[in-house]
Amino acid sequence: MYRVLVGLIVVSLLMACSKEESQTGEISSTPETIYNWRMVTTWPKNLPGLGVAPETLAKNVKKMSAGRLNIKVYGAGEVVPALEVFEAVSQGTVQMGHGAAYYWKGKVPIAQFFTAIPFGLTAQEMNGWLLHGGGMELWEELYDPFNLVPIPGGNTGVQMAGWFNKEINSLSDLRGMMMRIPGLGGEVFERAGGTAVNLPGGEIYTSLQTGVIDATEWVGPYNDLAFGLHQVAKYYYYPGWQEPGPTLEVIINKQAYESLPEDLAEILRQATLAINNDLLAEYTARNNAALTELVDQHGVELRRLPDDVLDKLKKISEEVTAEIVDDDPLSQRIYQSFMQYREGVVNYHEISEKAYINTRD
């Protein structure tokens, strides 16, 4: 009887413990770490497309991680100036940034290949090179000494050639002109006789209005309409030879990224790649309606750059692009990879994308 009584007591205690654990969970478990990060961008706060994409990324990451990774987004100038995003993330002042690699050409000239080069790759072709053509591995290798992890963070598609207050009928019309145009496009413009100015988006309207610059390129109709550039320039030229498929980037401080648990690191990567695709879809859907408004409601004069001007700009572009590749073996590998991929994808698109579009038209 004694043994039976002891046995009943033990069983009762075990059942009670089991019931308590089922109601409260494992008592020994520790709370999961909550990560609170900051992201700085090169864009004005909440600018349609470019400025909203980082906010969407932050919202999606929070939802996917069940609140374990929270990212607060700051627009240009709120924490650091627009063109100091690279340094802020590299030095660990903040954990993340959103911008474009050609803004850092003064520090890493070859990085411009990971945004856009004149007469280079379209958005679809850039995604192909980066994600399946070896470009991503080269990009990561290039940024590693700067303590950065890059991920493609969006694309606007083919941009516009820009806003001008005088007609462009020949290359000589560019001589002496002050134009906001970053990256290799700016170097080509200077070789053609103009002066390139690298301004963040938030300074473009006032600079054009006050005559600090004579012309500007920004993005395309969707963002150009939001900036009101039609109020300070008359002629709107296409095609965007200087940025045929500009890839944006999310850059992450390497130590911060490696501090994340494996699942959060993957959530961050996949959420960023989703934004990369979504942003391109947004610009594809919005640009035409914005262009129609600019032309029909605001009287903007839409012009195509003359073929001989484009031909000369292309010739200059080939020279400038080749010149930025120095003796550094990594720069040479990036250049060779990009050019080899471009040759192959252009050949295929002659009988696929281009052939179809020409047939449809």
Question: How far is residue 348 from each of residues 121, 160, 241, 361, measured CA to CA in Å?
Answer: 13, 25, 20, 19
How far is it, in rounded angstroms, from Cα 43 to Cα 200?
Answer: 8
Rounded (to 5) percent helix, strand, coil in the chain: 55, 15, 30
Sequence spans of domains, the chain: 35-155+245-285
Backbone angles phi, psi at 320, to 5 degrees: -65, -40
153 in Cβ contact with 114 (< 8 Å): no
How far is it, in rounded angstroms, from Cα 84 to Cα 97?
Answer: 10
38 in Cβ contact with 79 (< 8 Å): yes
Helix axes 353-360, 329-350, angle to 10 degrees: 40
> pLDDT tens digits for the chain (361 residues)?
555 444 544 445 445 544 444 444 444 345 689 999 999 999 999 999 999 999 999 999 999 999 999 999 999 999 999 999 999 999 999 999 999 999 999 999 999 999 999 999 999 999 999 999 999 999 999 999 999 999 999 999 999 999 999 999 999 999 999 999 999 999 999 999 999 999 999 999 999 999 999 999 999 999 999 999 999 999 999 999 999 999 999 999 999 999 999 999 999 999 999 999 999 999 999 999 999 999 999 999 999 999 999 999 999 999 999 998 877 899 999 999 999 999 999 999 999 999 999 999 9
Assign domain 35-155+245-285 to its CATH superfamily. Answer: Bacterial extracellular solute-binding protein, family 7 (3.40.190.170)
Convert 217-241 to b/e letters by CB count within 10 Å (16 or more is b).
bbbbbbbbbbbebbebbebbbbebb
Residue 231 Cα to chain centre, angstroms: 27
